[in-house]
């Protein structure tokens, strides 16, 4: 598949598009004619759209979906002429894009996923021993205490300053969570939203004064990381392969899908830490054509597609039982009911953009 010139230009200018995935087969292979629908999606949904069962379920409804991936916030800088829908990873960039392109509301929101921090077991144990996290009995999951963690980040604490690190040579250097680039990527921006909410005394950042007050901490959270990945998919794959920082911010869906594919063996020494104050990622379709809106509606309502979304770790909107039933074999790592987790409101797009800009410097 050839990318349109605008997508190529965006790669050169902002590095927003990180991969191309074809989700769909030639209609001749499907035994029935289908309409080809083109979409730009967040990278964390690439495996979902590439799943042959998803391809078949969409084809049964008359659609072949061909996708390219981009950072959610980078989508607004792309030339989307000829595309049928965009599918960023949360409502804020979707609303921004819908306003720019005149997409009709309401926007379909088929599923969501909370942000979590994946940690290697040794790292999670050290955090718990130092009051920065609590762990469930099996140590496959726990809760990250955001206020305490942010205090440690504000003080530039290192792993070596925490008790219990002596036996773990890999735990060295400044304590931080690896995130994606908040200027272009949704998960990185939502991390700033949650951190700023805690730093702002449990209030959403809404004014210039709030932005100025929280900027120093947010800048520390970002600049300590050095170069950042453009997508959560790449960051998660690095973590699973044992590369890089022992704490990485990802979507719960990525963990749930990994466990579904490989069972407990895939978990290895993985511990999933749910921040006690986090932000949900509401995957939101921005229809650019009527066919795009029809696919968005199918993703939200078609029973088979909802079932497959859960198979890929997403939580369908409006029915928690679908997720809890399907993931009953993964409760060692998944907090199905999100018990003890507070949802931080997300600032407006304008404020979030300014926060990300200042954090990056």
pLDDT on residue 320: 82
Nearest alpha carbon to residue 228 among 15, 72, 68, 40: 15
Q: How far apart are CA 228 and CA 222, in angstroms?
A: 9
Give yes or no on whether 5-112+284-330 and 113-280+337-360 have one common fold: yes
Say what the pTM is. Answer: 0.88
Find out if CATH 3.40.190.10 is the number for domain 113-280+337-360. yes
CA 268 to centroid of chain Cα atoms: 22
Q: How far apart are CA 93 and CA 350, in angstroms?
A: 10
The full 3-state SS of 77-92, as one line of letters, equals: HCCCCCCCEEECCCHH
Q: How far apart are CA 38 and CA 84, in angstroms?
A: 5
Side-chain half-sphere CA neighbours of 283 within 13 A:
29
pLDDT on residue 268: 78
Q: How far apart are CA 252 and CA 235, in angstroms?
A: 13
pLDDT on residue 87: 98
Residue 13, phi-psi category: left (phi > 0), alpha (psi -120 to 50), beta (remainder): alpha
Return the domain boundaries, the chain: 5-112+284-330, 113-280+337-360
Find out if CATH 1.10.260.40 is the number for domain 5-112+284-330. no
- One pLDDT digit (tens) per residue for the chain, 361 residues: 433 334 333 433 333 333 333 444 443 344 467 899 999 999 899 999 999 999 999 999 999 999 999 989 999 999 999 999 999 999 989 999 999 999 999 999 999 999 999 999 999 999 999 999 999 977 799 999 999 999 999 999 999 999 999 989 999 999 999 999 999 889 999 999 999 999 999 999 999 999 999 999 999 999 999 999 888 888 898 998 888 899 999 999 999 999 998 755 667 789 999 999 999 899 999 999 999 999 999 999 999 999 999 999 999 998 789 999 999 999 999 999 999 999 999 999 899 999 999 999 7
pLDDT on residue 265: 61
Kindly give the interhelix angle for 208-223 and 186-199, rounded to the nearest 10 degrees: 120
Residues with Cβ within 8 Å of 78's Cβ and at least 6 positions away in sequence, in order, are 6, 7, 10, 16, 17, 40, 70
């Amino acid at each position: 598949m050839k990318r349109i010139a605008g997508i190529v230009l965006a790669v050169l200018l902002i590095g927003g598009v990180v991969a191309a995935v074809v989700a769909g087969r030639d209609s001749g292979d499907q035994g029935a004619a289908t309409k080809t629908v083109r979409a730009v999606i967040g990278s964390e949904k690439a495996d979902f759209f590439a799943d042959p069962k998803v391809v078949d379920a969409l084809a049964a409804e008359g659609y072949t979906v061909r996708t390219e991936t981009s950072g959610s916030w980078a989508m607004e800088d792309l030339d989307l002429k000829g595309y049928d829908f965009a599918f960023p990873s949360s409502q804020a960039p979707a609303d921004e894009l819908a306003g720019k392109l005149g997409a009709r509301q309401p926007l379909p929101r088929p599923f969501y996923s909370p942000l979590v921090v994946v940690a290697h077991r040794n790292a999670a144990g050290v955090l718990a021993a130092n009051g920065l996290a609590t762990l469930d009995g099996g140590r496959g999951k726990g809760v990250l205490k955001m206020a305490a963690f942010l205090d440690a980040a504000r003080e530039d604490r290192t792993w070596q300053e925490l008790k219990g690190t002596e036996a773990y040579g890999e735990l060295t250097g400044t304590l931080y969570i690896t995130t994606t680039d908040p200027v272009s990527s949704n998960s990185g921006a939502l991390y700033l939203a949650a951190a700023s909410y805690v730093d702002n005394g449990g209030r959403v950042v809404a004014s210039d004064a709030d932005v100025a007050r929280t900027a120093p901490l947010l800048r520390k959270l970002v600049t300590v990381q050095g170069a950042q990945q453009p997508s959560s998919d790449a960051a998660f794959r690095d973590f699973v392969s044992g590369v890089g920082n022992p704490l990485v911010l990802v979507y719960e869906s990525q963990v749930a899908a990994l466990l579904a594919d490989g069972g407990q063996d895939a978990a290895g020494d993985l511990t999933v830490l749910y921040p006690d104050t986090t932000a949900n990622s509401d995957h939101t379709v921005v229809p650019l054509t009527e066919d795009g809106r029809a696919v968005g509606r199918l993703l939200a309502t078609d029973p088979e597609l909802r079932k497959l979304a859960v198979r890929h770790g997403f939580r369908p909107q409006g029915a928690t039982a679908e997720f809890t039933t399907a993931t009953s074999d993964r409760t060692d790592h998944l907090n199905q009911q999100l018990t003890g987790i507070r949802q931080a409101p997300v600032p407006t797009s304008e404020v979030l953009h300014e926060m990300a800009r200042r954090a990056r410097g």
